[in-house]
Amino acid sequence: MDRLNGTMMKDRQGLEITTSSHETVALLDHFVGQVLSYGQESDCLCKKSDMIGDEEVLLHALIAICCLGAENKNPKYDACSKSSYHIQKAKAYQHKATKRERMYVSVCEELKRSNKEEAARIYEEIVDLFPRDILAAKLAQEQYFNMGESENLRRVGKKCFQSNQDVHFSYGMYAFGLAETNSLEEAERLALQGTDMAPFKKDPWCHHAVAHCMELTGRLDEGIRFMESMAPTWNECGSFMYSHNWWHTSLFYLDRDASDIVLDIYDKHIWLKAKESAQEQIGATALLWRLDLRKIPVASHWDDVSDYIVPHIKEHIQPFLDLHYIYALAKSGKDERVKEMLDSLNSSALYQKNQSEVTRYMAEAFVLYARGDWESSYKQLAPIYDRTKEIGGSQAQRDVFEQTYIDILLQTRRYDRVKGLLEDRVSRRPNTPYLYRNLHTVYSHLGMTEEAQHADTKSKELERFYRQTLPTITKEIRGCTCHQRQPEQLQ
């Protein structure tokens, strides 16, 4: 037993904590549960930071981690100073702490130095030494996700799952890693199993993994039915998970050509309550971007989104965020802010060396694209297109980069180059009319008459089918006793 000078208690997972306070254990259990369930009170530690005793090493370390991981800098307080205060508190008493708690303090110090690779390594070491620590696995996955390291994401998920098959959260975590490494069948099976294990099926991360699997295989109606049936359980989620699962739901409708429903979801569930949140800003931008690619008019929406983005253009929290920020700024015509952000991106090494380089190239390419300079955008993006995974984000999120590159190739009439990309997408997503319409254009320009006719026929068959069946699907959804959209319940 790892005892030094402190009194030991155990949390819900049977992990030792240096404390003699039942209230501390209860607060920690609540925090972990809220993080894993994406609850509305995942900030409970930060809100009670002034009430936490000096010797609560783990709680101080976790508060510091929350401050350092914030995806928007809160103007009400200096997150860096607050994290330093709690790191100092944790270090002052870590001589009384367990090895696991001291490792969390080490994570804080690495994050403070922006050494995310080492922070991820320590998190994973915690998982190796203390397999029941699901929080460490979740935080490790988050770091690997943001660094675009899907194999590591999967590996940590597997380790966690192997030791925690009695906990439904571990199913969604492993399933997401499997989905990001294209083991879609196994990922979906585990995510559905985790959903069934969860009380009242309330595991939004499992739902999220199922959405990835269905979206990546083009199962549009199945995805709509599943996600809409789970939607009532998201009312208890924090704003990110609530809006993000609705964002995934909207992608099924988008590929079904149901743009009116997509815009309705945007207004009611994505860009509504938490506009100051980075994740809401990214979700809104990502959906408008995809609508823009389909030539659906969304110009009136860009100013509202970009106004919330402007205060954060020099924060550079993650490359993935930066690319969405700068696209929104460019689409809203905020040229001075675009220049300011590009200058900031070019001024120093903000991320890992590989991420900094790719981010700069992609940012400039997307600004040019947003302004309609297709040829210059192509020249900027083509040399680094195969490296977009380094930016971070999921396959579904990064898919907008591929869609943009395809549109650039179409706009610059590089039909021979875009042909293979479109054919590959159709093989993976065979039920999307939009793809067949683009293939019809490509085949026609390449003189492939028979193939062009087939693509045109297929697109029209799907369009007709989706028009005819949409009323049936919406009737089914409205008739579902558990389906009640209640965004006003968000806090």
Write a three-state SS string for the chain. Answer: CCCCCCCEEECCCCCEEECCCHHHHHHHHHHHHHHHHCECCCCHHHHCHHHCCCCCHHHHHHHHHHHHCCCCCCCCCCHHHHHHHHHHHHHHCHHHCCHHHHHHHHHHHHHHCCCHHHHHHHHHHHHHHCCCCHHHHHHHHHHHHHCCCHHHHHHHHHHHHHHCCCCHHHHHHHHHHHHHCCCHHHHHHHHHHHHHHCHHHCCHHHHHHHHHHHHHCCCHHHHHHHHHHHHHHHHHECHHHHHHHHHHHHHHHHHCCCHHHHHHHHHHHHCCCCCCCHHHHHHHHHHHHHHHHCCCCCHHHHHHHHHHHHHHCCCCCCHHHHHHHHHHHHHCCCHHHHHHHHHHHHHCCCCCHHHHHHHHHHHHHHHHHHCCCHHHHHHHHHHHHHHHHHHCCCHHHHHHHHHHHHHHHHHCCCHHHHHHHHHHHHHHCCCCHHHHHHHHHHHHHCCCHHHHHHHHHHHHHHHHHHHHHHHHHHHHHHHCCCCCCCHHHCC
pLDDT at 470: 93
Of the residues 399, 428, 458, the one at which a domain ends: 399
Residue 322 lies in a domain: yes
Residue 480 lies in a domain: no
Give pTM, 2 decimals.
0.93
pLDDT at 20: 92
Residue 419 lies in a domain: no
pLDDT at 490: 28
Of the residues 95, 113, 131, the one at which a domain ends: 113
pLDDT at 478: 62
Of the residues 399, 429, 444, the one at which a domain ends: 399
Rg of the chain taking only CA atoms, in angstroms: 23
pLDDT at 348: 66
pLDDT at 350: 67
154 contacts 176 by C-beta, under 8 angstroms: no
Residue 347's CB is within 10 A of a number of other CB atoms, namely 10
CA-based nearest residue to 321, from 376, 284, 370: 284
CA distance 125 to 143: 14
Residue 301 lies in a domain: yes
Residue 38 lies in a domain: yes
Per-residue pLDDT of the chain (491 residues; tens, 9 = 90+): 343 455 899 999 999 999 999 999 999 999 999 999 999 999 999 999 988 999 999 999 999 999 998 765 554 445 667 899 999 999 999 999 999 999 999 999 999 998 999 999 999 999 999 999 999 999 999 999 999 999 999 999 999 999 999 999 999 999 999 999 999 999 999 999 999 999 999 999 999 999 999 999 999 999 999 999 999 999 999 999 999 999 999 999 999 999 999 999 999 999 998 999 999 999 999 999 999 999 999 999 999 999 999 999 999 989 999 999 999 999 999 999 999 999 999 886 667 667 888 999 999 999 999 999 999 999 999 999 999 999 999 999 999 999 999 999 999 999 999 999 999 999 999 999 999 999 999 999 999 999 999 999 999 999 999 999 999 998 888 654 333 333 333 22
pLDDT at 455: 98
Residue 476 lies in a domain: no
CA distance 346 to 359: 10
Per the structure, the complete domain to which residue 48 belongs is given by 8-113
CA distance 357 to 350: 10
448 contacts 423 by C-beta, under 8 angstroms: no
b/e 261-277 (16+ beta carbons within 10 angstroms → b): bbbebbeebbbbbbeeb
Give me the half-sphere count of Cα atoms (radius 13 Å) on the Cβ side of residue 39: 15
The backbone torsions φ and ψ at residue 203, rounded to the nearest 5 degrees and listed phi first, read -140, 90
- What's the domain count of the chain? 2
Residue 204 lies in a domain: no
Side chain identity at residue 256, one-letter code: R
Residue 335 lies in a domain: yes
CA-based nearest residue to 265, from 240, 228, 308: 228
